[in-house]
Structure formats: structure tokens, C-alpha cells
Amino acid sequence: MRYDLNLLPVFLALMDERSVTRAAARLGITQPALSNALVRLREMLQDPLFIRERYGMQPTQKAVELAPAIAAALSQVDALVLGQRQFDPAKEERLFTLAPNSYVEYVLVPAIAARLRERAPGIRLRLTPYGTDLAATGAISGETAMVLGRIVDPPENLVVQHLMDDGLACVVRADHPVVNKRLSKPQYEQLKHVNVLPPGRLRAGLFQALERQGLRRDVVVSVSHFLSVPELVAATDYCATLPQLICRRLARDPRLKVLPTPVDLGTFPLEMAWHVRYRHDPAHQWLRALVAEAAKDVARGAASP
């Protein structure tokens, strides 16, 4: 029997999205075209595959059983085809989509961009946010080159690599009337706090670290991005607890001072994840190596690309 391999990405998109509308948008085709492809898929595989229900398209048992094999088959084809490509970073003209969380965008992306400017000026980056939903980044479907942040419970089609660990520190204004060179636990609990609530696991990690140490915060302002913190802290007597690499940047601001946390709050990981289909693609391999190098240098405090 002859199979139309062009239909298999449609199958995987429907498995991920459970919606004809979203699957069509992801594949860049019209809804009628996707519906037509689904008809042909059903004929080819001799099964309804997806049943329309109140909350979307639900896969049949056969679709669930076929999905891992189809994903693996397409990954092998991608590896064979992409592995044959010659890649010269200095000459490549290409757009990569990365999905960093807000911490990575602030701390690591500038170092990545600086290296690309020097070594691969024709490579462009597009950033899409990574919050709590890996599927929304496009990494699970392979539309995104990599996701950067804290990766929890990744699906089987994502490869995860640990890049570095970071700790936590405190930031207050330089002329704070109460806090000098050290911040005690009673002082920390008596201060008013600025809380950063970026989407994702970094937020949960900080809350859990505080809870483990029995450390309380009186939060009076919650913001959505680290960039909001310097102006807030400089204008008030508030305190912010932030990743150390962000605090290293803020320490350059003469209006602010960085202090150790009153108790050890541990560390959190920065990880990189990518779709298995890009495991052997030379361009993706090169980009992942560059990102890992940038992370290593940033963790050491190196500034040069």
C-alpha cells in the first residue's frame, strides 16, 4: 500500500491541538484543506482517528496507538534529510525561533545575540514567550528551535539539556534607612516586598524555597517582569528577591545595593529543550552549542562574546 507522507504532519498537529482550527493555523493551511486531509487520513488508516466532541477533537484508540510510531518515523526522516545539509554559520541566512522565559530573555539572550553577530550575522532570532505551557511555545510540535527556562515534565519528543544553575539575592535602594551591609531574617520579614510574578516555574520555585525556610514576605507590589523592579525599589524602601544573575546587573545601578538573602534559598536550574527531530540537524546542533557556551560564560560572569 502507498502512503501519503504529507498527511502525517496533519495527524500529529491534530493530536497536539485537538482542534481543526488550531491545527490548520499551525500548519499554515486553510481549515477546508485540513478537513480534506483528515478525510484522506481516515481513508488511508481505515479509522475515524478523531471524533468531534463538545470540547474539541478527541483521538480514537487507534490514533493514540499510532501517534508515537508516526512521530518517531517523521523524526527519523527529518534526521536523515537534515543530516545531509552542509552548514556554514558565517554564510547561513536563517531565522530561528526561541522560546525563553522572562529570566532567560533578560540574562542570557543578549549573550546569545552577541555571539551570533560575530559568528553568524545572517542568522536572525525570533522570540516567543515561555510561560507554563510547553505546547504553546511550539517546541513540542517542532516549530520552535528550542525552549529555554525550567523544563518540568517534558513529553517524550523533547530532549532536555541542563545549562546552569542560579541562586537568589536581595535588592534594596542604596540609601535604605534600615538595611546596611547585611539583611537579617527579622529585617527581611519586616520589610515590604516587591514580588515578580513571571509566568512559569521560576515563580513556583521561589515560593517553595521561602516556604522551606519558613521565611515570610509582606508583598505590597506584584509585577510581571524583572525590568519593573529597579525603578520600584529605587523609589521606595521595598525589597526584592531576585535571581543572582539579575542582581549582578542591578548592582551596576548606583541607586541600588545587592545583599545576600538572610537564609540559604538554594538554586534553580536553567535548561534547554528541543524536539527530537532536530537532534542531528547541523544548524540546530551548532546553535545549541552556542547557547550552551553563552550560558556557561554568563554563569562565570564573562561578558565577551
Q: What is the domain partition of the chain in residue ranges?
A: 5-82, 94-165+269-300, 168-266
Collapse the DSSP code of 264 into the 3-class scheme (helix H, G, I; strand E, B; otherwise coil) and give the result. coil
In the prediction, which pLDDT does 206 show?
A: 77
In the prediction, which pLDDT does 50 show?
A: 94
In the prediction, which pLDDT does 1 show?
A: 54
What average pLDDT score do residues 259-286 get?
92
Alpha-carbon distance 116 to 274, whole Å? 19
In the prediction, which pLDDT does 108 show?
A: 96
Q: With beta carbons less than 8 A apart as the criterion, state whether 265 and 183 touch.
A: no
What average pLDDT score do residues 103-112 get?
95
How many residues are listed for the chain in this entry?
305
In the prediction, which pLDDT does 28 show?
A: 75
What average pLDDT score do residues 223-246 get?
94
Q: With beta carbons less than 8 A apart as the criterion, state whether 96 and 287 touch.
A: yes
**Proportion of the chain above pLDDT 70, given as a percent:** 93
In the prediction, which pLDDT does 303 show?
A: 39
Burial class (CB in 10 A: 0-12, 13-18, 19+), 153: exposed
What average pLDDT score do residues 112-126 get?
96
Phi, psi of 133 (to 5 degrees): -110, 105
What is the DSSP code (8-state) at residue 147?
E
CATH of 5-82, one of 3.90.1150.10, 3.90.230.10, 1.10.10.10, 3.40.50.970: 1.10.10.10
In the prediction, which pLDDT does 8 show?
A: 87
Q: Residue 300 above 80 pLDDT?
A: yes
Q: Give me the CATH topology for the region 168-266.
A: D-Maltodextrin-Binding Protein; domain 2 (3.40.190)
Q: What is the mean pLDDT of the chain?
A: 88
CB atoms within 10 A of CB 184: 11
Alpha-carbon distance 302 to 305, whole Å? 8
In the prediction, which pLDDT does 17 show?
A: 82
What average pLDDT score do residues 169-186 get?
94
Q: With beta carbons less than 8 A apart as the criterion, state whether 170 and 258 touch.
A: yes
CB atoms within 10 A of CB 253: 16
Q: Of all helices (H) and strands (E), which one includes residue 222?
A: strand 218-223
Q: Residue 293 above 60 pLDDT?
A: yes
Q: Residue 9 above 50 pLDDT?
A: yes
What average pLDDT score do residues 264-289 get?
91
Q: Domain 94-165+269-300 - what CATH class?
A: alpha beta
How far, CA to CA in Å, does 122 sit from each of 98, 111, 118, 170, 287? Answer: 16, 17, 10, 39, 13
94-165+269-300 matches 168-266 in fold: yes
Name which of 45, 99, 17, 71 is nearest 273 in CA terms.
99
Radius of gyration, alpha carbons of the chain: 23
How far, CA to CA in Å, does 212 sit from each of 263, 266, 269? Answer: 11, 10, 18
Label residue 85 by pLDDT band (50, 70, 90): low
Q: Which grid cell is 78?
A: 527529518
